[in-house]
Structure 1
Amino acid sequence: MINPYREVFSMNRIATWLLIVFATVSVVASGAGQATACVGKTLVIGTTPSAQQQLLAEIVSLLISERTGTTVKIERFEGADETHQAQMRAEVDITIGYTGEGWVRVLQEAPAEDAQALFDQIKERYNKELNLIWLQPFGFEHPSSVSAEVADQVAPVVRKDTLKKFPALARLINKLGGVIDNENLSALDGQVQERAMRDVARDFLRDNRLI
């Protein structure tokens, strides 16, 4: 005689195993899809030989690659003008912008007297005239090379068409907004003297729970 309780128990075991198998397959498929979504995507960050720019580029690069799986390359140019021109030619997606330099050397305007007003104006002008987007400043002030009165704000500058291709990129990079103040920057500069720059950048992001 068939034991109905044993039969029900067996059916429950089969159902449980089927659920486990289905869940496992779903997780594997999801992971594969996420990895595939990042294949073939490459971003280029352009910098000058400045150690500060290279450090900031490493921080931005690692944030993007660690959080999205996107390949990010850093290319160094001879100076700010060469870096800007490469970005205008679409050879570079992201640069590190300094408000004073951008306002005077790129837009050919007289030095500004108010740091926040300068940032607002350069952000608007770059967007309308150059199709470049200034993201949130890192948080530290840099002595301006064009004005003795107003310090530069420093921020990532991204091509508008790049942001269209990578819709979540601006929000991701903006997580660095206000995170690197002058004290943090000084500490990072000191660490770079003793350790590899990329390691310093990675530890900074981990310490701030950004990766």
Structure 2
Amino acid sequence: MRVNVMVGGPQEQIPVEMVRQHQDETWIGVDHGATLLLDWGIKPVAAIGDFDSTAPAEFARLKERLADIETYPPAKDFTDTQLGIMTAIKKFQPDQIIIWGATGARLDQELANLYLPMQERFRPYLSRIQLVDRYNIVRYFLPGTYSIYRRPDFDYLAFVSLTPVRGLTLPDEKYPLVNWSSTIPFSWSSNRFTSSVNHFSFDAGVVAVIWSRD
């Protein structure tokens, strides 16, 4: 089962055409993300957050349309995005979690969302989580050997070590790499696919793979 979590980030960063391709799936709205979903004709199964980015009239609309709304004070132990992912896991134990609207604008919030799967409570779901915006798709990988697939219109490929990494090998990308290791985070950016399927492997650490477009 796939659960989509719509965060209330900058609307211009959200690929609405891609969102609509998943409109019949399960959605959770986070703060203003719940309003965006209703605007796009999608009724989330739940809405959660402090709703400090939601206008009073918008919140009244949410209360009229949705049966499951959880509100939190702005001063709390978790970010709204964390609450949305925790809700997805608690209610559905999904095979895949897609996070939308979590990038752009404030860099601190973008970094918090990018590193969210590294946190202990989310680590068991790390390989099931993706971040999607208009220009990027981010997936997370634990050590192993993988096949990755070219996506239409996403021309660039990056491999980002989020922890110390050992043995990263890119055997058939445009810019290959052999048995690379590092003790610091590093981004091998602007690589490219050489066919519809490429491969990579590494022996230790956590690597984010990013499909990107201009």
**TM-score (norm: length of structure 1):** 0.28
Higher fraction of helix: 1
User: Whose radius of gyration is greater, 1 or 2?
Assistant: 1
**TM-score (norm: length of structure 2):** 0.28
